[in-house]
């Protein structure tokens, strides 16, 4: 069993391919659709995701796996082909978001705990049956002058570790995502504060993973980059990369096969530039992307909910996927964006 998990984990991060996070909940995708004045219905959600998953060039060359939402895992394309089959046909791996969201944490004002452990073993068995081979769970860590508290970090780390252990029992690779929020409130912390919080969070997460007997070789880490808050942005691309690499080398065991960064509140191009700069260093893990908005935003706007724009939307998605694939090899350059 462990060998299979290790093989899947490596395939998720190898060869300059990365993960498409298409796991927006129904309420989140509605917000995205609102930006193009499109009503969110089962059909419009299907059409949008079908456009992405049928972008053959993007999927075959640049996307190693797709994080799905429960609705999408069971959804079929307009012609009746299950989305899971379309993803697999592109040699990409279907995955599934399994947490049910960050909820306010009792007695910890301003902090959250992610829920979804109840009944998770049974759900994972069903998701495996449906074709999912990896899963995702996000722990949300608030950053301010006084937050996070140790209690909230510890509780979220324990939940991540329990989730990861359940996944591995179910022959599913867990993506462990402790996100120290760049765009939380008030979002005016500097890069030093982000580094401090991220470092202590990752130390506690790996302690809890060890306590829960999670095999590090059969998991992927999905962390935030070390970056200043969204209302205090000053750090250069070079500084973000240097601070991020320094911190990960201190906290992430080299047994972990790969790190797939989240884009957080970064702009599309920033997320690509930072990833490329990070890959300019000598790293003990494969480092790639697990982006949602930073892969989809321009494609969504180009498509604009119209059937006649599908091909243009696919070109836009393929371009972003290619740029991030270059970044995962450390080969992205800003002029490549202008050339397109």
The per-residue pLDDT for range 94-112, each reduced to its tens digit, is: 999 999 999 999 999 999 9
Distance CA 45, CA 79 (A): 15
Question: Would you say residue 61 has pLDDT above 70?
Answer: yes
Structural tokens at position 149: 């508290």
Nearest 5°: phi and psi at 261? Answer: -70, 145
Q: Residues 54-81: what's their mean pLDDT?
A: 97
Are the beta carbons of 273 and 233 closer than 8 angstroms? no
The domain made up of 2-339 has a fold known as: TIM Barrel (3.20.20)
Q: Residues 14-21: what's their mean pLDDT?
A: 98
Percent of the chain residues past pLDDT 70, beyond the cut: 99
The overall average pLDDT reported for the chain is: 96
| Catalytic entry in 111, 177, 208, 270 | 177
For 301-322, write each residue's pLDDT tens digit: 999 999 999 999 999 999 999 9
pLDDT at 3: 56
SS3 labels along the chain = CHHHHHHHHHHHHCCCCEEEEECCCHHHHHHHHHCCCCCCCHHHHHHHHHHHHCCHHHHHHCEEEEEECHHHHCCECCCCCEHHHHHHHCCCEEEEECCCCEEECCCCCCCEEECCCCCHHHHHHHHHHCCCCEEEEEEEECCCCCCCCHHHHHHHHHHHHHHHHHHHHCCCEEEEEEEECCCCCCCCCCHHHHHHHHHHHHHHHHHHHHHCCCCHHHCEECCCCCCCCCCCCCCCHHHHHHHHHHHHHHHCCCCCCEEEECCCCCCHHHHHHHHHHHCCCCCCCEEEEEECHHHHHHHHHHHCCCHHHHHHHHHHHHHHHHHHHHHHCCCCCHHHHHHC
Domain ranges of the chain: 2-339
Question: Would you say residue 2 has pLDDT above 70?
Answer: no
Least confident of 147-161, 222-236, 275-289: 222-236
Are the beta carbons of 261 and 275 closer than 8 angstroms? yes
pLDDT at 339: 67
How would you classify the pairing of strands 112-114 and 102-104? Answer: antiparallel
| Tally of CA atoms within 13 A in the half-sphere of 300 that contains its CB | 21
Question: Would you say residue 340 has pLDDT above 80?
Answer: no
Q: Which of 295, 285, 298 is nearest to 322 (CA)?
A: 295
Question: Would you say residue 264 has pLDDT above 80?
Answer: yes
Are the beta carbons of 124 and 135 closer than 8 angstroms? yes
Distance CA 224, CA 273 (A): 15
The question of whether 179 is a catalytic residue gets the answer: no
Structural tokens at position 124: 């994972």
The question of whether 222 is a catalytic residue gets the answer: yes
pLDDT at 1: 38
| Catalytic entry in 11, 97, 136, 222 | 222
* Rg of the chain (C-alpha set): 19
Structural tokens at position 289: 């992307």
Distance CA 259, CA 269 (A): 19
For 213-258, write each residue's pLDDT tens digit: 999 999 999 999 999 988 888 999 999 999 999 999 999 999 999 9
């Amino acid at each position: 069993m462990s060998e299979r998990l290790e093989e899947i984990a490596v395939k998720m991060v190898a060869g300059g391919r990365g993960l498409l996070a298409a796991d927006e909940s129904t309420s989140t995708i509605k917000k995205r659709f609102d930006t193009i004045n499109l009503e969110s219905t089962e059909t419009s959600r299907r059409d949008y995701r079908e456009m992405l998953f049928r972008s053959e060039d993007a999927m075959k060359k640049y996307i190693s796996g797709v994080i799905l939402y429960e609705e999408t895992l069971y959804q079929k394309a307009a012609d009746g082909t299950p989305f899971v089959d379309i993803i697999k046909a592109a040699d990409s791996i279907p995955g599934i978001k399994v947490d049910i969201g960050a909820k306010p944490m009792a007695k910890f004002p301003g902090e959250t705990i992610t829920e979804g452990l109840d009944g998770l073993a049974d759900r994972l068995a069903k998701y495996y049956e449906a074709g999912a081979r990896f899963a995702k769970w996000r722990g949300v860590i608030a950053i301010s002058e006084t937050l996070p508290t140790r209690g909230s970090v510890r509780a979220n780390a324990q939940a991540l570790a329990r989730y990861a252990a359940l996944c591995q029992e179910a022959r599913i690779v867990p993506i462990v995502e402790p996100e120290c929020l760049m765009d939380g409130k008030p979002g005016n912390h500097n890069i030093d504060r982000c580094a401090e919080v991220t470092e202590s969070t990752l130390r506690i997460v790996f302690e809890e993973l060890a306590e829960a007997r999670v095999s590090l070789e059969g998991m992927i880490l999905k962390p935030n980059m070390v970056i200043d808050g969204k209302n205090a942005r000053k750090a250069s691309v070079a500084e973000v990369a240097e601070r991020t690499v320094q911190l990960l080398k201190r906290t992430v065991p080299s047994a972990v096969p790969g790190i797939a960064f989240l884009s957080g509140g970064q702009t599309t191009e920033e997320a690509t530039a930072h990833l490329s700069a990070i890959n300019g260093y000598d790293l003990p893990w494969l480092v790639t992307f697990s982006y949602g908005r930073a892969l989809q935003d321009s494609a969504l706007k180009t498509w604009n909910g119209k059937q006649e724009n599908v091909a243009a939307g696919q070109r836009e998605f393929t371009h972003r996927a290619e740029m991030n694939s270059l970044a995962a090899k450390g080969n992205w350059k800003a002029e490549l964006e202008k050339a397109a």
